C-alpha cells in the first residue's frame, strides 16, 4: 500500500518502522495523516511483527496539530468535533494496546498530540535537543484526548503544572518527568534505537505481550488474594505454554531459543556456563 503522509518499512527481522513523513509541516497531525496511520496499523496487524518503531522524517518528530486542520475545526459542530477527536483518540489507544513492543524515536519538537503518540509507546528515546510542550491552553483548549497517557507517564501532580503552564520541556526535564526513558545525541538516535531493538528481539514474543498485559491488569490494584492468584495463574499458564516450554528447554540445553534471530540459533559449546544473570529467573 502506498502512503502520502508516512512511510512503512517491514524488515526481514519482523521489525516494523512507521515513519511520519510530512517534514515540510513539522509532521503536524491532520485528518489525513491520522487516517493513514490507522490504515498502516491495519496493515501491520496483518503482518508478523516482533517490534514496532514510531519515528519521523525531518527536523521535528511532530509539532502538534496542523494549522489548516485547526482552522477547519472552527467550522465544525460539537458532534463533528467529537468524531474528529475520536479518530486521534482511537489511534493513540491502538498504539497503547499494540501487543508487540513499541518504541518512539523523538527528535526536534514534540508538541501537543505528539505527546500522546510518545506516551502510548512502551519505550521513548529522544535526542538531547528534543523539546516537548503541552501547549493546548495557549489556544483556549486542553490536552484532553492525550491526557490518559500523558498523566499515566508523568503523574497527576506534574500534569497539573505542565497542562496549565504550557512551558517548553527539555529532553533532560522530559526524562525526569518520565515522558521519555533515555536521551542521546541526535546523531546517535538511530543507533541507540537499533541497539535497543537488538536487545528486545531476543526475547520471547508471547511473553513480552503478556508482560504488557500484566502491567495493565495489576497497575493501581490492591495487593490482595485475588491479585496474587491472578499473577500465579499468569505465570503457571506461561510455564506450560509452547513458548515457555521452549524457553526453559533452551536454557537447560544451553542453546538459543526457537524465537531468536536466525543467526543466533547456534548451539553454544557444551562447556559454556550460564552467566550470573542467566542463573536467576523470576
Per-residue pLDDT, 265: 42
Given a cut of 90, whether residue 216 has pLDDT beyond it is yes
Confidence of residue 264 (pLDDT cuts 50, 70, 90): very low
Q: Which residues, at least 6 apart from 242, have a Cβ–Cβ distance to it below 8 Å?
A: none
Given a cut of 90, whether residue 277 has pLDDT beyond it is no
Which range among 14-18, 41-45, 159-163, 259-263 shows the weakest confidence by mean pLDDT? 259-263
Long-range contacts of 260-269 (CB under 8 A, 24+ apart): 260/202, 261/13, 261/201, 261/202, 264/202
For the chain, give the longest Cα–Cα distance: 72
Given a cut of 60, whether residue 270 has pLDDT beyond it is no
End-to-end CA distance of the chain: 43
Q: What is the mean pLDDT of residues 106-133?
A: 98
Given a cut of 80, whether residue 268 has pLDDT beyond it is no
pTM of structure: 0.87
Confidence of residue 72 (pLDDT cuts 50, 70, 90): confident
Domains of the chain: 6-200 (3.90.226.10), 205-264 (1.10.12.10)
Q: Name the DSSP class of 121.
A: S
Q: What is the mean pLDDT of residues 153-177?
A: 98
Q: Name the DSSP class of 29.
A: B
How does the average pLDDT of the chain come out, rounded? 90
pLDDT, tens digit, 9 for 90 and up, residues 169-204 = 999 999 999 999 999 999 999 999 999 999 999 999
Per-residue pLDDT, 153: 97
Given a cut of 50, whether residue 274 has pLDDT beyond it is no
Given a cut of 70, whether residue 269 has pLDDT beyond it is no
Given a cut of 80, whether residue 279 has pLDDT beyond it is no
Given a cut of 50, whether residue 237 has pLDDT beyond it is yes
Given a cut of 60, whether residue 69 has pLDDT beyond it is yes
Per-residue pLDDT, 211: 96
Q: Which three cell numbers stand for residue 169?
A: 520541556
pLDDT, tens digit, 9 for 90 and up, residues 1-56 = 889 999 999 999 999 999 999 999 999 999 999 999 999 999 999 999 999 999 99
Helix (H) or strand (E) holding 174: helix 171-176
Q: What is the mean pLDDT of residues 64-89?
A: 88
Amino acid at each position: 500500500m502506498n502512503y502520502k503522509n508516512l512511510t512503512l518499512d517491514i524488515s526481514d527481522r519482523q521489525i516494523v518502522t512507521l515513519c511520519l513523513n510530512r517534514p515540510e509541516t513539522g509532521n503536524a497531525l491532520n485528518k489525513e495523516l491520522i487516517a493513514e496511520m490507522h490504515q498502516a496499523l491495519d496493515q501491520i496487524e496483518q503482518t508478523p511483527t516482533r517490534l514496532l518503531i514510531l519515528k519521523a522524517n525531518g527536523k521535528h518528530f511532530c509539532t502538534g496539530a496542523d494549522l489548516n486542520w485547526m482552522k477547519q475545526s472552527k467550522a465544525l459542530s460539537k458532534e463533528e468535533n467529537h468524531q474528529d477527536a475520536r479518530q486521534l483518540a482511537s489511534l493513540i489507544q491502538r498504539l497503547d494496546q499494540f501487543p508487540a513492543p513499541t518504541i518512539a524515536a523523538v527528535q526536534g519538537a514534540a508538541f501537543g498530540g505528539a505527546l500522546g503518540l510518545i506516551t502510548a509507546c512502551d519505550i521513548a528515546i529522544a535526542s538531547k535537543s528534543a523539546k516537548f510542550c503541552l501547549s493546548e491552553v495557549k489556544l483556549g483548549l486542553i490536552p484532553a484526548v492525550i491526557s490518559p497517557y500523558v498523566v499515566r507517564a508523568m503523574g497527576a501532580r506534574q500534569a497539573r503544572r505542565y497542562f496549565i503552564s504550557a512551558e517548553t520541556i527539555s529532553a533532560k526535564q522530559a526524562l525526569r518527568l518520565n515522558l521519555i526513558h533515555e536521551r542521546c545525541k541526535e546523531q546517535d538516535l538511530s543507533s541507540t534505537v537499533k541497539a535497543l531493538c537488538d536487545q528486545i528481539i531476543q526475547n520471547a514474543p508471547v511473553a513480552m505481550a503478556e508482560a504488557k498485559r500484566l502491567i495493565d491488569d495489576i497497575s493501581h490494584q490492591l495487593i490482595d488474594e485475588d491479585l496474587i492468584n491472578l499473577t500465579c495463574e499468569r505465570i503457571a499458564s506461561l510455564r506450560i505454554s509452547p513458548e515457555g516450554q521452549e524457553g526453559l528447554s533452551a536454557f537447560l540445553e544451553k542453546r538459543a531459543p526457537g524465537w531468536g534471530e536466525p543467526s543466533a540459533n547456534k548451539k553454544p559449546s557444551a562447556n559454556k556456563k550460564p552467566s550470573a544473570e542467566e542463573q536467576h529467573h523470576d
